[in-house]
Amino acid sequence: MKKIFLIVALLFTTPIIHAESLLETYTARLGTDDHYNSKGKRLRSVAAIIRQDRANFHKFGIRDFEDQGDRFFASKGKRARLESMLNRGSMSRETRNAIVNGTPLITVNIYTDYIEVYLQ
């Protein structure tokens, strides 16, 4: 009986950690072309710039020298999820500013429901 009580007590006092698996990682240069949509309008949000980079890479064949491929954002539907995934993920203020105001080299870690973005 003491063993059962101890096991139950451990189950309720031990934190359960749910770690998502990393699906994929890629590196990309967010060049000048990635800061404008296909109609020539300047993009002002981080999500829009990263999404345009992936559309340029997969759909339009516009690639910067340092761009790497990914399988996840190859589909238009998954690129449409990018903003919500970014909102659930993590990124420093420095990274946000560099993306909006420059042409940084970034690394993107893709998980099932979120992405993490880092400067290289």
- pLDDT tens per residue, range 96-109: 999 999 999 999 99
pLDDT over threshold 70, residue 11: no
Residue 47: the pLDDT is 98
The DSSP bridge partners found for residue 69 are none
pTM: 0.83
Residue 66: the pLDDT is 97
Residue 44: the pLDDT is 96
CA distance 103 to 64: 10
CA distance 51 to 48: 5
Provide the mean pLDDT of the chain: 89
pLDDT tens per residue, range 44-91 = 999 999 999 999 999 999 999 999 999 999 999 999 999 999 999 999
End-to-end CA distance of the chain: 56
Q: How confident is the model at residue 3 (pLDDT cuts 50, 70, 90)?
A: low
pLDDT over threshold 50, residue 24: yes
- DSSP string of 28-76, one letter each residue: EE--GGGGB-TTSPBP-SHHHHHHHHHHIIIII----TT----SGGGSH
CA distance 95 to 46: 9
